[in-house]
Structure 1
Amino acid sequence: MTGGRVAVALLPFGGPDGAKAHSIVSADLTRTLLIEVGSGKSERFEASATVGAGSLAGRIVDRHQKTPPVERTFTGDLRLIAHQFADAITQQVTGVSGFATSRVAFISQETGYKELYVMDIDGANVQRLTADRSISAHPRWSHNGALLVYTSYRSGYPDVYIVKLGKRTRSRVAFFPGINSGAAFSPDDLMLALTLSKDGNPEIYLMPVDGGTPRRLTHNRATNTSPCWSPDGKEIVYTSDERGSVQLFVIPAQGGSARRLLTGNAYSSEPDWSPDGQKIAYAARIGGEFQIGEYELSSATATLLSSGGGEDPSWTRNSRHLVFAHGGALYLMDSVTKLIAPLPNGLSRCSEPSVSP
C-alpha cells in the first residue's frame, strides 16, 4: 500500500499499440483513487500486456502469493479493451469493481445553450446529442445502456424525450399540459418515473416507456420532483417540499404512504439510489452552498461526503464511486475515502452528470 492505495507496477506493454494502451490503463487505475501506479519491483502487484490487431492479452501477478498469474484476453476497439483491462486489474487487486468502461451523460452550456452530451468517464469521446438552442436537463440512462431519457424545452414547454443512442433518434414520450420533467427508467427499463403537473401541482407519476396512461403516485399540494427507482424496483425516492423545505421521501412503486428520510439538512435534493440498494446520494444545501451527502438506509444515517461543494451526484456501477458537478466542471469521488479526481472533458459550464450502468 502507498498512501492508503494499492501499489501496482504497470510494466511497459508490448505490441504496436502497447504504448497507447499503457497510457489509458495507467490513467484509469489512477482515477480509481484506490491504486498507486508504479513501474518498479517494490509493488505487490504487477500488470503487463501485449496489444495489437484489436486484442489485448493482459497478465496480473501477485508477487506476495504463489498463485498462478491471472491472464485475460480482450478483443475490440483499443480504448475499450484498455478500459476493460484496467477494470480487471482494479477488481483483482482491490476487490472493488472498476468503472473505466462507463460513460457519462451530462448537460453543458458550452454553446450558450443547455445541450445534452455524452462522454467516456475519462473525459474522452465527447459527443453532443442535441443542438436545439434551448434547455436540456435531467439526463438519465436506461439500465441496458442503450437509451437516455431527458427533459427538453425545445417545444417551448418542458417535455420528456428518449434518445436511442445506437440509432441517434429521439422521441417525445411525455408532453401533457404543464410540466413533464425529471424522468428515470425502472430497473427493467419498461417504465418511467417522472414529474407531471397535468392534474395541478407537480406530482410523481409512473408511465410505460413507450407511452400510455400515467399512474399517479403522490397526492399532496407540494412540488414533487427528481424520482429515482430502488434497484429492486419496489420503491422510489424523490424530493418534495410538502413539509416546507425540500426533503427526500421514499414511496412504494405500487403506491401507498411515503416516508421521509431524515438527513439532518434543511434542504436535500437530487437523490440517486446506489446500484447495491444500500445508499442514496443527494445534494444538501448548507450555508448557501451545495454539498454531496450520503444516506445509509440500513442505519438511517446521513453523512456529508464533500466539503468543497458539489451537486447532481450519480453513482458508478460499484456503488462506491460518484460523479458530481461543481463550478461548471465534473468530478469523481471515492465515497469511502472522500478523495476527489477531476474529469476534464474540454467543455465549460457542465452539470447534471448521469453515469451509465
Structure 2
Amino acid sequence: MLRLFFALFLFVTPLSVLAAPVEITAPGKQNIPLALTSLITETPPLARPEIPTTFREALLSDLTLSGLFSFIPDEAFLDDASHLGLTSNKIDFGQWRILGASALFKGAYRFEKGQLVVEARLFDVAERRLICGRRYRGSVSDLRRMAHAFSDQILKQLTGIKGPFASRIAFISNASGKKELYLTDIDGSEPQQITRHRSIVLNPDFSPVGKELIYTSYRHGKPDLYRREIYSGSETRLAAFPGVNISGRYRPDGREIAITLSRDGNSELYLIGTDGTLHHRLTENYAIDVDPSWSPRGDALVFVSDRIGNPHLYIYDLVEQKEHRLTFNGKYNATPDWNPTRDSIVFSRLEEGQFDLYTISPDGKQEVRLTETPESEEHPRWSPDGRFIVYSLGKEGHHAIYLMRADGSGVRRITSPSDNSTHPAWSGGW
C-alpha cells in the first residue's frame, strides 16, 4: 500500500522577479538566476546530513528540467550565506544580489514527535521579500516527494500553472521476468511494482478524478481491461468482452472510458462506463481502430486506424459523430496523445526503421519533429500540465523511460535500459 505525506500551506505573495509569467515551452529565453541553498537543521542533536543533500538533489533536478533557471554556483556563496535565517529580516539580500541571484531558496528541517518537518521558502532578492513558503510533515522516506511538491509551487508562482513534479509515472517493465506495471516518481526514484500477474500488462492510464488507474492484462489468457486503486491495491477486471479489450483511456471528466474492443469481430472504438458497462460503439469499418486519446474538453478523440492500408491518425468528433484523417505524412503513425492544456497532439512515426516523436495541431496544419536519433522513441504521453513529455526509447532491444520538455529539449532518462520499460503514463496531481 502506498503512503501519503501532508503539506501545510504557509504563505504566498506575488512574484516580482518577472514582469509576466514564463512559458516553459521556450526554455532559455528567460532564465532566472537562482541561489539554491541547502536545508539547515533546527534540531542539531538529531541532524542527519543526508536530508539536506537528498532534498537539494531532488529540487535541483526538477528545476533544471523546467528550463526556467540558471543556478548560482555553490562555491560562489559567501561565508555562512547559506546558513543565515529563514525570514526576510534575517537574510542579507545584498550578499545574494552581489552574486547575481534574482531568486533565493532557503529551507530548514527538524523532528517533531518522530516526524520530519521541512520548511521550504522562495524569496525575491530584488524586492527582499518572500514569494512562497510551505511546511511539510512526514517520514524521512517522504523527503524527495516533499521537494517535488515545492518544485510544483515554484512553477505555479512563476508561470501561473502548477508543475508536474509531485505526480507519478506508471510504466510497464519486465524487470521481474514478466511485463508488469510499475510506478515511480518523476525522477525515477523509488520504483514500485504494482501488479504481479506473471503475464503481460500493457497500456496504463490514470483516472483524472481518483487515485486509480486502468490497464490491459493477459492474466486470464486474453487482453482484458483492469482497474486498480493505488493505495488499497484493490483490483477489478473491468472489461472482459469477447476478443480484445485494449487501449483504455479515461475521459477528462473521469465518467467514461474510450477503449478498443473486438466483441463484434473487428477492432473498433467504444465507450464504456467506469463500472465496465457498454455505452455505445463509435467507429464501424473493416479496419483496425486503436489507441484513442481524448481532447481536453472530452468532445473528440484522436486515434490510429489502418483503413487506408497504413496506420494514420484520425479524429472522431463526438458532437458531430464524424471522423476525419489527421496525418498524411509518413507510412506508419502511432500512439497519439492529446495535450491536456494545449492544441497539440504528440505521436510516434516510423522513419527508416526507427520511431521518432512528432507533434501536430488538431487541424493538421502544424507538424513538428521532436526527435531524430538512431534509437526508437515511442509511446509518448503529456504531463498533466502539458509542458513535458514522457516516452520510451529503445536501443539494441532494450527500452527505458525518458522525459523531455514540450519542444524536445531537456532530455533525461529515468529508468534503466536493463529493466526494458515501455508504455509510460503520467498521473495528475497527488
Indicate whether the TM-score tops 0.5.
yes
Q: Is the 8 A contact 2:206 2:425 kept in 1?
A: yes
Determine if the alignment matches structure 1 residue 130 to structure 2 residue 195: yes
Return closer, same or farther for 1:298/1:51 CA change in 2, 3 Å cut-off: farther
Aligned AA for 1:86?
S
Cα-Cα RMSD:
2.2
Partner of 1:278: 343
- Unaligned runs of 5+ residues in structure 2 are 1-26, 42-46, 78-98
Alpha carbons 2:326, 2:363 under 8 Å: kept? no
The aligned amino acid for 2:393 is H
Q: Residue 415 of structure 2 contacts residue 421 of structure 2 at CA under 8 Å; is this kept in 1? A: no
**Given residue 350 of structure 1, which amino acid in structure 2 is its aligned partner?**
S
Following superposition, the deviation at residue 110 of structure 1 comes to 1.2
Selected match of 1:73 from 121, 134, 141: 134
Provide the secondary structure at the position in 2 that maps to 1:218: coil
In 2, the alpha carbon distance for the partners of 1:138 and 1:351 equals 9
How big is each residue's C-alpha offset from its partner over 1:290-327, in whole Å with a ceiling of 9 and x where there is no partner?
01111123673111111124111011122121011002
Q: What is the Cα deviation at residue 116 of structure 1?
A: 0.8
In the other structure, the counterpart of 1:31 is: 65
Aligned runs of 1:300-339 on 2, under 5 Å?
300-308=365-373, 309-327=376-394, 328-336=399-407, 338-339=409-410
| Secondary structure at 2:177 match in 1 | coil
1:239-318 correspondence to structure 2 within 5 Å: 239-254=304-319, 256-262=321-327, 264-297=329-362, 300-308=365-373, 309-318=376-385
Report 1:77-226 matches (<5 A). 77=138, 78-93=143-158, 97-226=162-291
1:3-44 C-alpha deviation (Å, 9 max, x unpaired): 654331101221244343222212222233443333342232
Question: Would the alpha carbon gap of residues 280 and 50 (structure 1) be closer, same or farther in structure 2, given more than 3 Å must change?
Answer: same
CA distance in 2, matches of 1:224, 1:335: 27
1:61 aligns with 2:123: yes
Structure 2 residue 100 is the aligned partner of structure 1 residue 42: yes
CA distance change for structure 1 residues 295 and 90 in 2, over 3 Å: closer, same or farther?
same
Determine if contact 2:371/2:408 at 8 Å carries over to the other structure.
no
Contact 1:142 1:148 in 2 (8 A): yes
CA distance, structure 2, for counterparts of residue 292 and residue 122 of structure 1: 21
**Which of 1 and 2 has greater Rg?**
2
Deviation at 1:55, TM superposition (A): 3.2
| Aligned residue-pair number | 356
- Counterpart of 1:35 in structure 2: which amino acid? F
8 A Cα contact 2:132 2:154, kept in partner: no
Judge conservation of contact 1:34–1:94 (CA < 8 Å) in 2: no
Deviation at 1:90, TM superposition (A): 3.2
Q: Is the 8 A contact 1:306 1:338 kept in 2?
A: no
Cα contact 1:158–1:180 (8 A) shared by 2:
yes
Code of the aligned partner of 2:145? L
Kindly provide the amino acid, as one letter, of the partner of residue 380 in structure 2. Answer: P
Kept in 1: contact 2:182–2:191 (CA 8 A): yes
Residue pair 1:6, 1:94 contacting (<8 A) in 2 also: no
Spell out, residue by residue over 1:269-298, the C-alpha distance to the aligned partner (whole angstroms, 9 max, x if none).
101111114111111111111011111236
Task: Give the Cα–Cα distance (whole angstroms) in 1 for the partners of residues 159 and 316 of structure 2.
Answer: 36
- Letter of the structure 2 residue corresponding to residue 143 of structure 1: P
Q: Is the 8 A contact 1:145 1:356 kept in 2?
A: no
Choose 52-61 or 311-320, whichever is displaced more. 52-61
SS at match of 1:258: strand
Structure 1 runs (4+) greater than 6 angstroms displaced = none
Paired AA for residue 137 in structure 2: G
* Structure 1: runs of 5 or more not aligned: none
| TM-score (ref. length: structure 1) | 0.93
